Amino acid sequence: MINQLKLQQLIKLLDLTRLTDDDHAAAMDLWLLQQASAPLSPAAFCVYPQFLEQTQLFIKQQAWPAKRATVVNFPAGDAAVDVVVSEIHSALALGADEIDCVLPYRQLLTGHSEQVRQFLAQVRLACGNSCLKVIIESGELITPQQIIRATELVIESGADFVKSSTGKVPIGITLEAARNMLTVIAAAGRPVGFKASGGVRTVAQALELVSLYEQITGKLAQPELMRIGASTLFGEINQLLLASKA
């Protein structure tokens, strides 16, 4: 049995995510209600911008310290930068604490690194002091070198986190991609966060990613510098915690 401390640590790293195509107010109410019996708070709730206020009300009712995260340039990563900047400003006005922005990874694939760099600079500026996580869509990058280059560009931009995947493409996070991202992050000259997302469905998989993070960075996984994006793990972990106390 997994010990309680590891499970409690894992809860604190979760960005509990609802970014499904059938999102609407009634579904959100039901989804949030399902989380209400959980004894511990995740790091953040990641929802579409239109649900930020609804989510904040729920967080206040639970008296949880969870942040509100939302997505921009999502999921395709191909919007014009002025559109993305407008999305960021709107999300922040709606109360977002954290912005998860998709990298224009197709530009990177076609060799337009400078355009990617300029995009990231404007996104960082638009976010101000708010937490910025940049999604590199690692499953669409063809080689390890492209994953490494994407991670380097995100770090150079001043983003707070490098995030693996939108969860909307066939390949999400893999251990190989995580290892490449973390190796670059560990060598950065400043603290940079890592968010594993896209297909993290089991506690064992999440713990393996935590172990890899700690092994490569030499740091204890804490929500300030590591997150795991998942839609179902929160309930499963809380059930395991309750079972371990029985």
Hey, which residues are catalytic here? 100, 163, 195
- The closest of 17, 11, 12, 13 to 168, measured between CA atoms, is 17
**Residue pair 32/51 in contact by the 8 Å Cβ criterion:** no
Pure H helices in 68-202: 81-93, 105-109, 113-127, 144-157, 175-186
Cβ-based neighbour number of residue 41 at 10 Å: 20
- The closest of 69, 127, 73 to 102, measured between CA atoms, is 73
Sign of CA dihedral 154, 6, 13, 46: positive
